[in-house]
Amino acid sequence: MSTSSDGSLKAIFYALGANGAIALAKFGAALFTGSNAMLAEAIHSLADCTNQIFLLIGIRETKKQPDAAHPMGYGRVVYFWAMMVALLLFFMGGAFSVIEGIEHFKHPQTISNPVVALLVLGVSVVLEAFSLHGAMREINKIAQGKSLYRWFRETRQSELLVVAGEDIAALLGLAIAFVAVGLTVLTGNGLWDACGSIAVGVLLMMVAIFIMREVKAMITGESLAPETVAAIRAQIEASPEVEAVLHLITLQWGEQWMIAVQAKMQRQASDLALIDAINVVEAGLQQRWPQAKWCFFEPDIDTSAD
């Protein structure tokens, strides 16, 4: 059975291959044409390649077996690497592009061989679109009809969130760079190229901040998606062994889940029968959701009416 990381790995490798080819083409074009917007785009693509390597490291570390120091395993380590990616995107991609743009705004330069720059940008759009298509295909498999924005806000797959966010930012950045280079060629004014570099940098920093906000919530400890929590509650309440669910806590732990239940149980003939009833409910949860590795079940009484 495939896991959610399989789809993330595919999206990461799509992005790594595309961004590696794009970075080489952009650096060559930047050196050949002297375009600042193209240089900003090249640095952005290089940062993206590094980001995808970070994500691969994170996914590999999640496979480490639990130990005494980490009894619930290393599933959440991928969130750390996702935050590193967001920081790298902000500083190496965004801030550097803004600084370069400001510097060349003060000292504008013309672009030589603009046809080469525009051609490389066009090829980059095709490659980035291929990478985004791969990411979107994996997202559509798990989004369950949600809009892209809603999926971004509710997903717990940090690596797929980062790849998709980077690809979207890259396509928008390429559009900005294309316009900046075009206006520089048409007007002969190098300020347009500098403005393009600044705009690309601001865009990357905005995307990085959005990713940081989402990953921060995952690091802090997020529950499962709302519809999943509702389905878990409904299944427990439908169990004949359970009279009522008093409290339900869920936690996303990388690819795996932790579920803690406090419930009022139906009366049982003995304590052993009560244990058996709890085991039946837990087994039902883990059969339906194999990723629910940890189920903690506490029988209790309802004191809310007291």
CATH code: domain of residue 214: 1.20.1510.10
Say if residues 250 and 228 touch (Cβ distance below 8 Å).
yes
Number of separate domains in the chain: 2
Range of the domain at 174: 4-220
User: Is 306 inside any structural domain?
Assistant: no
pLDDT of residue 247: 95
User: Is 213 inside any structural domain?
Assistant: yes
pLDDT of residue 2: 46
> What's the predicted TM-score (pTM) here?
0.77
**Closest Cα to residue 128, out of 207, 189, 225, 49?**
49
User: Is 288 inside any structural domain?
Assistant: yes
Give tens-digit pLDDT for 229-249.
Answer: 999 999 999 999 999 999 999
pLDDT of residue 304: 62
More confident residue, 63 or 304: 63
Beta strands, E only, the chain: 242-253, 256-265, 292-299
Final residue of a domain: which of 220, 254, 279?
Answer: 220
Selection from 39-43, 181-185, 245-249 with the highest mean pLDDT: 245-249
Mean pLDDT of 257-280: 93
User: Is 137 inside any structural domain?
Assistant: yes
Residue 271 Cα distances to 217, 239, 247, 268, 274, angstroms: 40, 18, 22, 7, 5
Mean pLDDT of 256-285: 93
Contacts of 141 (CB under 8 A, 6+ apart): 7
Q: Express as a percent the part of the chain with pLDDT over 70.
A: 93
pLDDT of residue 235: 95
Q: Reply yes or no on whether the pLDDT at 228 is more than 80.
A: yes
Q: How confident is the model at residue 163 (pLDDT cuts 50, 70, 90)?
A: confident
Say if residues 58 and 81 touch (Cβ distance below 8 Å).
yes
Phi/psi region, residue 276 (left: phi>0; alpha: psi -120 to 50; beta: rest), is alpha
Q: What is the number of other CB atoms lying within 10 angstroms of the CB of residue 294?
A: 16
DSSP 3-state assignment of 223?
coil
Whole-number mean pLDDT of the chain? 85
Final residue of a domain: which of 176, 198, 220?
Answer: 220
User: Is 167 inside any structural domain?
Assistant: yes
Q: Reply yes or no on whether the pLDDT at 130 is more than 70.
A: yes
